[in-house]
Structures are given as structure tokens and as C-alpha cells.
Structure 1
Amino acid sequence: MDPLKPESFKHRKEVLSTGRAYHFVDQLPVDYDPKRHPTLLCVHGFPDLWYGWRYQIGPWVRRGYRVVAPDMLGYGGSAKPTDAEEYTSKKLCADLAALLDVLGVRRAIVIGHDWGSYIAGRFALWQPDRLLALIIVPYTPPTREYIPLTEVVKRAPNLGYQLYFNDQKSSHEIPSHLGKFVGLMFADVSQYGNKQLDFTPKGALENILADPKTPTGLPTILNDTERAYYIQEFGKGMHGPLNYYRTSQCRHEEELAARLPAALSADLPYLFIWGTHDPTATPFVINKARKFISKYQDIAIEGRGHWLMVEAKDEVTKHISEWLEHLTCSHPREVSKL
């Protein structure tokens, strides 16, 4: 498994019982035994792929874990429904449960990043019997009141870019500027720190992408090989990935109808791992999450930003491995249920 050679991983594609086809990497440890080797289900965010876990898959497999990393719905080699309602967390969680069924895995340790954190957190609510533990960035509980995105952006102007993602025109415009888009999303802000390229305020992202003066070769956390792979895979379509931002009301209605609880199961081990320079991991979000999680533990990685799996690849691998080893040693009976 070479992180710079996607083809060196074991790829699979299966049609799930939900009717959707998923592409995923399924990497088994030596002498795999489901009773001895827990499964890690790694859920990526936006904009990402199974490839976001490339630096962790090999080390985790060598430590005795089965690692499964899907292209989430709409991405890469997975199905790409056009209707935004197909991307609600309820349906995505049903897909992940169906994927575990295909694998013959009853319960998994679920790890999420970015949108994958949101989906992983909802998986713990929609499919609580399928988790052994949860490792994510901040947990966001369901709410009783629906807040429209326009109001959300008024309260949090740094989320203004989501208005563009919510607009159907972004599905057509972003593919025309993939080089710039990847450069902005994976930017190494420590290298250029240009406030003029802050895409978060309302209206900023579309203007930056359309501006011919915006450089296509921004310094990023990716090397040339990684960047080329992302551009290749995102070139298969961005409508599906952007649909995740168009589901807020549908998600809310589904959760309200199901009366999903705000708190996670009291016996669910939970690890929050975050970079201190990640703008999504604010003190408010962190403190709010603590109220709904009994077995809360967190690890802060100093000086690192949003793309922890790349920016702090060794630290992420080490911290999660050590936490999992403690968990599996402390709960051997639970591991046997996998």
C-alpha cells in the first residue's frame, strides 16, 4: 500500500441492499479473523475521497485492523444520484449499514472527518447497534428547530460559501475551475496566508474561482501526484458532492419525524481528535458536544488545521491506534461481537 499509488490498495465495488453501488477500499490484515480483527469504517468529508485516509490505511492494517474506506455517495467510483434528497443522513447511514452487511461485519469502529464526521455522528443515532466506537471531529446533535441556511450564514458569516454550494449553478461552475478549486480547498495557508483568497464569506468563492487572476498553482498540503488524483476523481462530477449541502431541510424533517435523540448512547466510546488551527473546531462547538456524550475523550494536535489526516498524518495514525488498542484491550467481549 503506497499512498502515492492508489492502485496499490485493494479496491472493490458492490451494489448494496439499498440499491446503490459503492466503490471502496477493503484492506485486510494478515491472517484476517473477524473475531480477532476489528473493522475500521472510515468516512470522508467534502471535498474528499477514500483517498483521504491513504496515510492511515497501511499502518492501521499492520496493527491488525481491517480498514474499509468508501467513496461516499456521489464521489469517485460510487453511485451519483442527481436528486439531493438521496443524500440525507438517514439514507447515507442505511448505505453504510448495508456496506457492513456486505462485509459480514456486525459492528465497526467508525471514523469520520468533515462531512464524514457529521454522517458518522448520525450513524450512531440511526444505526446505534452497528458501532463499537466513534472517532470524529465535532459532534453536532439534532435540533428541534429548523434554521434556514440564509439565517445560519447571518449568524456565522464564515459559512457563507455554503450558500454557493447550495446553489445549483455551483455544480456546473466548479468543474470548470477544478484546478483553482482543489488549490483553495487544500490550501496550505501557512505558506501563502493571502486574505484575498479567503473563500468563506458570502459571494467570495464564486468570485475567486471566476477571477482570471486567481492562481491555479496555490501552495497546498498535497504533492503533485495527490493533487492530480483529486482533480481526476472530482472530474467525474461535483453535483453529487455538492448535494450534501442541499439536504438540510430534508435531514431535519427526517430526524424530527424519527425523534432522534440528541445524546449519543451512554456506553459508546467517543474520541474527538482535532487540530488547534482547524476553524471548524471552535470552543463553542467543542463545549456543546460535551453535553451530549458520556464517554467523551479528546486529543488536540497543536498547530494543525482541518486536513489532519495529511497535515498530521503520523500523529493521527499514532493517537488513534493507541486509543483503539486501549479500547480493544479494555473491551475484549465487545470486539468478539464484530
Structure 2
Amino acid sequence: MADEEPRWLDVPTPDVHLKALSWGPEGAPIALCLHGFPDTAHGWRKVAPTLVDAGWRVVAPFMRGYAPSSTSADGSYHVGALMDDALRVLDAAGPTGRDVLVGHDWGAIAGAGLAAMPDSPFDKAVIMSVPPAGSFRPLGRVPDAGKLATMLPRQLLRSWYIMYFQLPLLPERSAEWVVPRLWRQWSPSYDATADVALVLDAIGTPENWRAALGYYRATIRGSAPPPRYADLHEHWLAPLRLPTLYLHGSADGCASADYSRWVEPALPPGSRAEIVDGAGHFMQLDRSDDVARRILDFVGP
């Protein structure tokens, strides 16, 4: 099945119209794969065949604001909204009771929220490249806080784009140079030419680019989500409940793999954290075989 072309799944909701790629047979347990920034659902294309060959159906939505999914009618790009989208895609695909969640970057942030839900519909979670926020809360009880503090200045330099996105006007005109720069910084050994083109197709227009910036603006500014997302939004900072595999690349230029030392002790029973040697931030692409093997080893066939 390695050469199977994905099918399209349409998921209309009251706020957004989502489009998802689907590999594998309907009725099989679902691996719901959530991408991040600046990426698209196509970023799962190298991992999907291995999971499909092992019996999974891979469903990968284009996150809200990433064409061909629509932008938000509510103007909401809060984590609770991303969680709601994921649940609606799972419902549309046909949940089996044996489904798992795989999230990368913003998909990892939403995935951590879904893995923290007391009634999550997923069996297990795989969180990639962005540590669950609950690993560092409450700050007053984080182990080895002094070591964590020494890492913050370098992280602030790496996260320059987050503060840049808070500026008025200027960020709205920067997609053409920000996207390729971040790919070069974050996965330096990977030829991202094709993926950068896919990303610019998805968020290169002014409307879609503003939506992508909206994820960072909603989170940094702490704005309240619309009421329809408020209950879900409460979970994204909470400790995880699902057995979780945390993966981080040793060559990730976005965030240091050293954060795993705080993630692993905070994970629930049946979980583990692993460093993927040589992988950058976009590990599902630059070390796809290794990542697919680790996912399968955790979730099973």
C-alpha cells in the first residue's frame, strides 16, 4: 500500500469547513495525525504508508486556516478550537474505540489537550517536537527549575518568530521569507523545497496567513475562546491522562531535545519519552522510517 493515493474527507462544522487526507481502509482503527506550523497534512505522507501496512487508517486534517480547510467564521484559533476540530474529524471518519492520536507542533499542543481529557476518545497519544505544557506546571514545583531557567535565554532566541508575530502589520507581509527560514532552521538536514511550496499553497494568501498567525496571537495574548470551545480549552495546560509516547529530534532547531528530561517524569503510566537521533523538528519527514517504527512500536499494529 506504500503508493496509495490519499482520499479526501469533508468535515463541515458550524465554524470551519475542514478537509482531511485519508490513507487506508475505512473501518480500520484510526491514527488521527495533526500537523503544525508551518506545515500541512501532506507532512504525514511519508509516515502514512507504514501505518497503513500495519492495519491503521491514517486521517490527517488540514488545520483550520490552512487551505483547503477554511478559516474560522468565529475568528478563533485557540487550542480549544483545534481540539474541537480534531474530535469532529474523528467523528466524521468513524471512530472505532481503538483510535490513536499523533500530533506534531501545534498538533502536539492540541493533542496534549486531547490526551488530558478525562473522557478522551483515543486509546493512546504520540506527541512530537513540542513538550506538553502540563510538564512545566505548576512552575513552583518543576524539578531542577534552575537548569530549566538556564535554557530560557537560548529558547527565546529560537522563538523570535513568536514575538515577531505579535507586531502589527509587518508580520502579515512575511510568509514568503518566514516559512523557508523556519524550515531551514528547524530541520537543517532536510531538503524542504517541496514542503515549503505545499505550505505556501495552504497559508500563502493574506487571509490564510493571518489565520496561521492567529494561533500564536490567541495563545500569547491569552484571549478567551468562544463559548463553544471553552470547556475543551481548559484541558490543554493540564497533565496528560492517556498513555503517551513523546518524541523529540536531537537536531531540532525549534526547541531543544533537553526538554524531554522534564516531560518524561510528568507522563502518565504506560508512557515514555524518546530522542530521535539526527531528527530535526519535522521528524516525520526527515526521519520518517525511524519515526513510523517508533509510533508503531508504541501503538501496536
Offset at 1:13? Answer: 2.2
Q: Does 1:24 align with 2:20?
A: yes
Contact kept? 1:97, 1:127, Cα under 8 Å = no
Q: State the structure with bigger RCO (CA 8 A, min sep 6), 1 or 2.
A: 2
Offset at 1:115? Answer: 1.2
Identity of aligned residues (%): 24
Offset at 1:55? Answer: 0.5
Q: Which amino acid aligns with 1:312?
A: R
2:209 maps to which residue? 238
Structure 1 residues 14 and 167: CA distance shift in structure 2, 3 A: same
Q: Using the alignment, how far apart are the partners of 1:226 and 1:156 within structure 2? A: 25
Q: Using the alignment, how far apart are the partners of 1:258 and 1:301 within structure 2? A: 31
Q: Using the alignment, how far apart are the partners of 1:77 and 1:118 within structure 2? A: 22
Q: Does 1:323 align with 2:298?
A: yes
Q: Which amino acid aligns with 2:89?
A: L
Offset at 1:66? Answer: 0.6
Offset at 1:289? Answer: 5.0
Q: Using the alignment, how far apart are the partners of 2:212 and 2:243 within structure 1? A: 29
2:110 maps to which residue? 119
Q: Supply the RMSD in Å over aligned alpha carbons.
A: 3.3
The Cα offsets for residues 241-299 of structure 1, whole Å up to 9 and x where unpaired, read as: 1110011213699579958773222xx22111221122424424541452243322122
2:91 maps to which residue? 101
2:148 maps to which residue? none
Q: Using the alignment, how far apart are the partners of 1:189 and 1:20 within structure 2? A: 29
One of 259, 262, 268 as aligned partner of 2:238: 262
List alignment gaps of at least 5 residues for structure 2: 140-151
Q: Does 1:221 align with 2:218?
A: no
Contact kept? 1:2, 1:9, Cα under 8 Å = no
Q: Using the alignment, how far apart are the partners of 1:128 and 1:58 within structure 2? A: 30
Tell me which stretches of 4 or more aligned residues in structure 1 moved more than 6 Å. 188-191
Correspondences of 1:8-23 after superposition (within 5 Å): 8-16=5-13, 18-23=14-19
Structure 1 residues 260 and 41: CA distance shift in structure 2, 3 A: closer
Correspondences of 1:26-175 after superposition (within 5 Å): 26-29=22-25, 32=26, 34=27, 37-81=28-72, 84=75, 86-105=76-95, 107=97, 108-126=99-117, 128-137=119-128, 138-141=131-134, 156-158=155-157, 159-175=159-175
Q: Count residues with an aligned counterpart.
A: 277
- Scaled by the length of structure 1, the TM-score of the pair is 0.71
| Rg larger for | 1
Q: Using the alignment, how far apart are the partners of 2:233 and 2:293 within structure 1? A: 40
1:250 maps to which residue? 223
Offset at 1:122? Answer: 0.7
Q: Which amino acid aligns with 2:282?
A: W
Offset at 1:43? Answer: 0.5
Structure 1 residues 190 and 114: CA distance shift in structure 2, 3 A: closer
- Scaled by the length of structure 2, the TM-score of the pair is 0.79
Structure 1 residues 322 and 77: CA distance shift in structure 2, 3 A: same
Q: Which amino acid aligns with 1:291?
A: A
List alignment gaps of at least 5 residues for structure 1: 146-152, 192-218, 329-338
The Cα offsets for residues 223-255 of structure 1, whole Å up to 9 and x where unpaired, read as: 4x4443333223242111111001121369957
1:181 maps to which residue? 178
Q: Which amino acid aligns with 1:164?
A: Y
One of 246, 262, 267 as aligned partner of 1:287: 262
Aligned partner of residue 81 in structure 1, secondary structure: coil
1:307 maps to which residue? 282
One of 237, 252, 262 as aligned partner of 1:278: 252
Contact kept? 1:139, 1:289, Cα under 8 Å = no
